[in-house]
Amino acid sequence: MKIAVYGKGGIGKSTTSCNISIALARRGENVLQIGCDPKHDSTFTLTGFLIPTIIDTLQSKDYHYEDIWSEDVIHAGYGGVDCVEAGGPPAGAGCGGYVVGETVKLLKELNAFYEYNIILFDVLGDVVCGGFAAPLNYADYCLIITDNGFDSLFAANRITASIREKARTHPLRLVGLVGNRTSQRDLIKKYVEACPMPVIEVLPLIEDIRISRIKGKTLFEMVGSEPSLNYICEYYLDIADQILSQPEGIVPKEIPDRELFNLLSDLYLNPIDKGKDQNNKKNLLGFTMV
């Protein structure tokens, strides 16, 4: 099973991806997480450091695939999850989609691409071109990470459009949305009413999720010294269980941009609860989300 995790930049995809990867490993799966971001920090909380990237390794070997070994590019992470960072081209040059393609090509050359029960692609930011959408070419499922903010749901809708387009050529399906660290659900609810799709889980708004990233540890590792965090891990295990049930998934149909803008902005301008304070109003547009 191959899963592509998408969402607006800064929404917490990498933190969520790492915890889902460990949850899948805790369920007995052999998991590889591939970071698809030039920052090459997707797997930081799994390994504790920035591992060498595929593209840097290829360049150092003058693109001689036969000179590269699995241990050069695949690194062991916490909880038995193996980690790869694709890396990216220099800023302002090249295409991230090419780098993803080279990563998959090398892993196939090393006979590693098919050795895992699950491969999880953690993909950077919004989908604005074919390069950003490249991991969908290899995925069975897509999972979208969002919060209750205007911008993140706008990005989710663009990702939805990309899933629909890619599903024309191969059996790609959307598993659903995961709400990350949000105390509000009204915009998410409004969006999925207009663009029907499953909401897999909504993670609680707690500081420990953000701190785990800063510490370079997953929630599962932090539980060792802070048992009170165990309940948060149950959220990720629930997501893993839903993925492992091999859901049928859906081919979604996005909402036109203007219609989506009107839908979400109307809820902000005309909140259901007139008594909400200004901070909650800001929260609707995502201004206070971390």
**Ranges in the chain, pLDDT < 50:** 274-290
pLDDT value at position 273? 53
Residue 287 lies in a domain: no
Residue 10, annotated as binding a ligand: yes
Between the alpha carbon of residue 120 and those of residues 20, 57, 92, 233, the distances in Å are 9, 21, 27, 18
Q: What is the CATH number of the domain that holds 142?
A: 3.40.50.300
Residue 215, annotated as binding a ligand: no
Residue 283 lies in a domain: no
Q: How wide is the angle at C-alpha 139 spanned by C-alphas 135 and 141, nearest 5°?
A: 125
pLDDT value at position 281? 41
Residue 61, annotated as binding a ligand: no
Show the domain range for 92. Answer: 2-270
Residue 87 lies in a domain: yes
pLDDT value at position 285? 43
Could you identify the residue written with the tokens 């694709």?
86
pLDDT value at position 99? 85
**Parallel, antiparallel, or unpaired: how do β-strands 173-179 and 141-146 relate?**
parallel
Looking at the annotation, which residues are catalytic? 8, 13, 39, 126
Q: Which amino acid is at 109?
A: E
pLDDT value at position 117? 95
Report the distance separating Cα 17 and Cα 231, nearest Å. 18
Q: How many domains does the chain have?
A: 1
